[in-house]
């Protein structure tokens, strides 16, 4: 085996390892203002680890779903990828604090969550669809159906109903942690150096 071949193998190892340790954490915020019997601004957040997702379902725009046509791309996600949630709303009118937990998540259409993008690609969703149901009431992100999501949000509690058609979704992923990748990369670079030195001494 030539030195060039050995170096090529080492470089491929470095690239493959570096790729395998890339961050997969997604932080999403869903914000807007309810109108109706329940009014006020809301801002809900979710942290999702795409490496823990076990639902691979995907339906492209135009897909036929038992007679219904997907009006946009549909990417399904499992609840297993949710690592953190902040779903609190303060009802100023009724002086009531409402909260929903992960255990309150109710799957819809065979998935816990639906987005119109592949989160692993770094894209920010423009449409989201998921439901939470608890003793505090109902919290819906996205209106319509998973195959035809209308941006918006709804809330229904003992105090009444509130909704909005203006939902803003923002994405602010945490900075990747470089330590594991750096250690492995420098180790492999050291191996490359040793190979080069060994080969030079043989010549």
Question: Cβ distance 141 to 125 under 8 Å?
Answer: no
Q: Which two tokens stand for residue 106?
A: 């109710």
Per cent of the chain over pLDDT 70 is 74
Q: Would you give the DSSP letter of residue 111? A: B
Element (H, E) at 189: helix 179-202
Q: How far apart are CA 138 and CA 158, in angstroms?
A: 10
Number of alpha carbons in the 13 Å side-chain half-sphere of residue 130: 25
Question: Cβ distance 115 to 82 under 8 Å?
Answer: no
Q: How far apart are CA 69 and CA 178, in angstroms?
A: 43
Rounded to a whole number of angstroms, the distance between the first and last alpha carbons of the chain is 14
With cut-offs at 50, 70 and 90, classify the pLDDT of residue 174.
confident
DSSP symbols for 85-122: EEEEEEETTTTEEEEE-GGGEE-BTTBSEEESS-GGGT
Mean pLDDT of 59-77: 95
pLDDT at 18 over 70: no
Question: Cβ distance 47 to 82 under 8 Å?
Answer: yes
Mean pLDDT of 40-51: 97
Q: How far apart are CA 185 and CA 179, in angstroms?
A: 10
Phi, psi of 50 (to 5 degrees): -65, -20
pLDDT at 22 over 80: no
Nearest to 49 by CA among 88, 86, 17, 78: 78
Query: 160-193 burial by CB neighbour count: b if 16+ within 10 A, else e?
Result: bebbbeebebeeebeeeeeeebeebbeebeeebe
Q: Model confidence over 76-117: pLDDT tens digits?
A: 999 999 999 999 999 988 888 999 999 999 999 999 999 999
pTM here is: 0.76
Q: Model confidence over 118-167: pLDDT tens digits?
A: 999 999 999 999 999 999 999 999 999 999 999 999 999 999 999 999 99
With cut-offs at 50, 70 and 90, classify the pLDDT of residue 16.
very low
Q: Which two tokens stand for residue 198?
A: 């060994």
């Amino acid at each position: 085996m030539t030195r060039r071949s050995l170096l090529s193998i080492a470089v491929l190892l470095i690239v493959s390892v570096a790729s395998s340790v890339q961050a997969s954490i997604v932080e999403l915020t869903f914000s807007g203002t309810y109108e109706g019997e329940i009014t006020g601004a809301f801002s809900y957040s979710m942290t999702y680890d795409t490496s823990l997702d076990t639902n691979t379902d995907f339906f492209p725009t135009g897909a036929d779903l038992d007679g219904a046509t997907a009006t946009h791309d549909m990417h399904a996600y499992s609840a297993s990828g949710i690592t953190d949630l902040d779903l609190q709303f303060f009802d100023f009118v009724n002086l009531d604090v409402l909260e929903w937990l992960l255990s309150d998540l109710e799957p819809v259409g065979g998935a816990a969550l639906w987005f119109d993008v592949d989160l692993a690609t770094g894209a920010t969703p423009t449409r989201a669809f998921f439901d939470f149901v608890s003793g505090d009431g109902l919290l819906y992100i996205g209106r319509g159906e998973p195959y035809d999501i209308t941006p918006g949000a709804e809330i229904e509690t003992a105090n009444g109903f509130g909704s909005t058609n203006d939902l803003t979704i923002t994405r602010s992923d945490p900075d990747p942690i470089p330590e594991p990748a750096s250690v492995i990369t420098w180790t492999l670079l050291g191996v490359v150096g040793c190979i080069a030195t060994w080969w030079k001494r043989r010549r």
